[in-house]
Structure 1
Amino acid sequence: MGIVLGPNQYGKAQNRVFRVHRETARHEIRDLNVSTSLRGDFTAAHDPGDQSGVLPTDTQKNTVFAFAKQGIGAIEEFGLTLADHFVAQTPAADGARIEIEEYAWDRIRSGGAGHDHSFVRRGGDTRTTVVTVAGQGAARRAWVVSGLRDLVIAKTTGSEFSGFLRDEYTTLAETDDRVLATSLVARWRYGGTDVDFDGCHASIRSVLLERFAEVHSLALQQSLYAMGGAVLERHPEVAEIRFSAPNKHHFEVDLSPFGLENPGEVFIAADRPYGLIEATVTRDDAPDAGQAWLSVPGFC
């Protein structure tokens, strides 16, 4: 029986980049969390331990900050630029994976307008991307998966859950009116890289929220399918969209011991255990996903 090295990658995780643009008195900021990884033939680094083909993770960190100085643009474009650079700099590497989160900030209101250089971090969801590049030149392939996480949404009616399978352990009551809430994670794969990434992200986020609000939900699964379908209908550049949605349960409180009625007004918001619904909505003619989802955790 022989022992061989299996799939591997290495890089610098969670480089926190806070970029301030000071070209004018009215500053602009970008706040990123960037993780880099290289893939390839790094067998010698593991056995016998020869590091001559390894671009240090510290170098990867320094590169992220140096490239941020030159300009970031859309996080997808920034990721592609970094990935191509690392593959070109590292002969043993045949691919690179760049994962980026972006945190949004708003200007603090002062004197009726947004302050020039004071900001407050925006609450809510976080923009994400995972960029993968394999090869160089004519053999180069690139995949971009963008998305968002921690998009907490709820509807206080227009949701039901009934007609489900029952067995001897089923106690859940059917309902035709409930609170439906989730902290949504959505990631979508583009069919190429010639995309207005900023414009698409803003539009897709809007579509997801619109469909969640508009659809009378028979189940969270049905809502996710409707949301994903709406994204694919409006955005031909998107090949597929994947969801991970914890069902944030809200249970009506029994107020009868206190002589009070509770017609769907007071709830216990329970954070665990929770149903976890995951789904992919895709085009039947979507291009091959290749390495797009490799090492993107949490998705079926």
Structure 2
Amino acid sequence: MELGDNQYGKAEVRLVRVDRDTDEHRLTDLTVTTTLAGDLAATHLTGDNAGVLPTDSQKNTVYAFARDGIGEIEDFALRLARHFVGTAPSITRARVRVDQHAWERVGGHSFARGAGTRTATAAVSDQGEWVVSGVEDLVLLNTTGSEFHGFHRDEYTTLAETSDRILATAVSARWRHSAPTDWSLSYTAAHAALLGAFASTHSLSLQQTLYAMGEKVIESGSTIDEVRLSLPNKHHFLVDLAPFGLDNPGEVFYAADRPYGLIEGSVRRPGASDPGLAWW
């Protein structure tokens, strides 16, 4: 037997920081996951833990670094990843993912939970540094402007073709940067590109919408080389009201939670480098 690829870390460290230096407090709500790899064969093969930085230490590092301020989550992830590679002799690669949970201000020190989760992942190794930004659980819906017809039919196909349907999804999108940038402006532009493409695309398939959204994200920032999207099809079925003597001219729907179609794909800038990072 021989040991294959391996890694370890601390998953889903919950962190909330309140900045109180102005009358209007600032709230940052994060979930941080650290993942380390390197010369760790001994702990697997013999139980020698000399090269293992405990996951509890990784958790404590997240909190200690937050004391100095968080800033943009891409920068926070990079700070942590660089620290683990630079201070733990056995660690040669660190990946840090940060999820920022949205809160909207409703007062000087009052907040309401917002929509979508901003994400960032930073990786540091002897092969370089990579940053991936993104958003998850961005729920979008078009009440019209979506069709689905002309698809392949086999002996098990019962789905009716349609030229007008509700199109709803919960977007998960991640985009890889080729160079550092203004992370806040880049995220704002990419987020707006996702919304704009979804709203403006007359969709003949969710796949077509996915490509349009990815294309607009890449166009939104010169440092974005590739975007990967996962779009679950949140089906809305027209309710048959005929048994009650009522018509239903596209007004009453049943929103099904499962099963659902899942459309996934990536869009890459022409000539963009491929880091070969399957994890991102």
Q: TM-score range by the shorter chain?
A: over 0.9
Match of 1:240 in 2: 226
Please say if residues 77 and 96 of structure 2, whose CA atoms lie closer than 8 Å, have aligned partners that are also in contact: yes
Match of 1:125 in 2: 116
Residue identity in the other structure for 1:198: S
Residue identity in the other structure for 1:284: P
**Aligned match for 2:71, one of 64, 69, 73:** 73
Per-residue CA deviation, residues 131-151 of structure 1 (Å, 9 max, x unaligned), is 11102xxxx501111111111
State the SS of the aligned residue for 1:13.
Answer: coil
**Aligned match for 1:280, one of 258, 261, 266:** 266
* Structure 1: gaps (5+ residues): 109-113
Please say if residues 211 and 267 of structure 2, whose CA atoms lie closer than 8 Å, have aligned partners that are also in contact: yes
Task: Give the structure-1-normalised TM-score.
Answer: 0.91
Match of 2:257 in 1: 271
Residue 158, structure 1, aligned to residue 145, structure 2: yes
Match of 1:38 in 2: 36
Residue 263 of structure 1: how far off its partner (Å): 1.1
- What is the root-mean-square deviation in Å for CA atoms of aligned residues? 1.2
Match of 1:101 in 2: 99
Task: Give the structure-2-normalised TM-score.
Answer: 0.97
Residue identity in the other structure for 2:155: E
Residue 54 of structure 1: how far off its partner (Å): 1.1
Q: Number of residues paired by the alignment?
A: 280
Moved over 4 A (4+): none
Please say if residues 189 and 220 of structure 2, whose CA atoms lie closer than 8 Å, have aligned partners that are also in contact: no
Match of 1:111 in 2: none
State the SS of the aligned residue for 1:170.
Answer: coil
Residue identity in the other structure for 1:58: D
Residue 37 of structure 1: how far off its partner (Å): 1.2
Residue identity in the other structure for 2:152: L
Residue 172 of structure 1: how far off its partner (Å): 0.6
Percentage of matched positions with identical amino acids: 56
1:96-245 matched pairs, under 5 angstroms:
96-108=94-106, 114=107, 116-122=108-114, 124-135=115-126, 141-192=128-179, 194-245=180-231
**Aligned match for 1:15, one of 13, 16, 22:** 13
Residue 130 of structure 1: how far off its partner (Å): 1.5
Per-residue CA deviation, residues 222-275 of structure 1 (Å, 9 max, x unaligned), is 011111111222322110111111101111111111121111111111111111
